[in-house]
Amino acid sequence: MLESYVLKFPKVVYSGKDAISKVGQVVQDFGAAKACIVTDAGLLNRGLCDRAVEILEGMGIGVEVIKNCPPEPSYLAVQDVVDEFRGMGADMIVAIGGGSVMDAAKLISVLATDEYSVKDLLDNPGLAHKQVRTLMVPTTAGTGAEATPNAIVAVPEKAVKIGIVNDDLIADAVILDDRMIKDLPRPIAANTGIDALCHAIECYTCVKANPFSDSFALHALDLIINNVVEACDRRDAVEARRAMQLASFYAGIAITASGTTAVHGLSYPLGGRYHIAHGVSNAMLLVPVMRFNQPAIKERLASAYDQCVRGDAEGVDAKAEALVDLLDQIVRHLEIPTSVRELGVEDADLEWLVENGLEQRRLLDNNVRELTADDARAIYQQIM
């Protein structure tokens, strides 16, 4: 556990009943005269941006809309969105969407001028400095992008995903309104919900874990373990979905203080080359990586069991095993794929996965156990 640590937050967070009504106040408080809503066509067509537009225009604030944010975007696609924003003259960004939309918005906020490009940030994330204020309004309960300093993009020429990490990517403001997720389809609720679960347990069991990250990670894990199944199975489970929205945010805050590990590290090649959704690839790797790490983190897993499961298992080993078994049961109940074969990965791809997975040093160096090529190979083989 770290002996010196830091916690970073958005400047203001609104949550609870009709939180979206604060959108105009937030934009106004930051002194903006024109807002750009960043979203995707599906969300726009479903009317999830209508209230924000109505409020902003009603307050005399100019509104532009970027609606072409693609899912799991490449850095080239994000650059196209950045270029579109530059001609709008907006002085505030309002991102309404899931992780891909929010990550794109974060990158727009540091690329409003042509000093450097998205590609430049892949090589040197330290170049980024915020040029436009951001407000994040998540429409899923899982990615935690509204809280993190990370933006994930695919790099087609390397067939991997890479995280651009810089504190200036942290949102200036966040609105958590549960109406944004009330009609979330079950597969998306499941994939993003397990992504949040991965954030929470990885942050709690990583090299950089500390009292700040532990507080948020454990609270998030408690909320997720006890609500994710109901939130996915029942569209009318308002309280469970509200709990998942808070858990996603808490887990995102935990990332700012500690960070994710080999689950995310080994998932990046799966998303980059095979376009497997981020939450799906993390879900498939969650249990294999937890079992690999279990000997080194069993005390932490047992502590998490006591706080989040509160079952009748006795002893550190039994509690650790029971928690990992529960994670496995949750993933299977939510019907997330457990084999990459059905998603286009072949046996011949195994060595490529191992090689590229081991290149994710930012994340693997945060894993409590060092992964050798043989270790990574054995983990990937479990999901083949």
Write out the H or E segment, with its range, that includes residue 246.
Answer: helix 238-257
Q: What is the pLDDT of residues 70-101, one digit of tens each?
A: 899 999 999 999 999 998 999 999 999 999 99
* Residues facing residue 37 across a β-bridge: 65, 94
The whole-number pLDDT of residue 242 equals: 96
Separation in Å, CA 75 to CA 127, 159, 214: 16, 12, 32
The whole-number pLDDT of residue 83 equals: 94
Q: What is the pLDDT of residues 177-214, one digit of tens each?
A: 999 998 999 999 999 999 999 999 999 999 999 999 99
In the chain, domain spans: 12-181, 186-382
Q: What is the pLDDT of residues 122-135, one digit of tens each?
A: 999 999 999 999 99
Q: Does the structure show a pLDDT above 90 at 3?
A: no
Residue in the structure block whose two tokens are 């805050």: 253
* Joined tokens for residue 133: 């204020």
| Confidence band, pLDDT 50/70/90 cuts, at residue 51 | very high
Nearest to 279, CA basis, from 150, 192, 185, 384: 192
What is the pairing mode between strands 92-97 and 133-138? parallel
Mean per-residue pLDDT, 152-180: 94
What does residue 230 show for φ and ψ, rounded to 5 degrees?
A: -65, -40
The whole-number pLDDT of residue 49 equals: 97
Q: Does the structure show a pLDDT above 90 at 327?
A: yes
* Joined tokens for residue 185: 């389809």
The whole-number pLDDT of residue 166 equals: 97
Q: Choose the CATH number for 12-181 among 3.40.50.150, 3.40.50.1970, 3.30.56.10, 3.10.100.10.
A: 3.40.50.1970
CATH topology identical between 12-181 and 186-382:
no
The CATH code of domain 186-382 reads: 1.20.1090.10
The whole-number pLDDT of residue 120 equals: 97
The whole-number pLDDT of residue 239 equals: 95
- Torsion, Cα of 324, 330, 332, 338 (10° steps): -60
Q: What is the pLDDT of residues 100-113, one digit of tens each?
A: 999 999 999 999 99
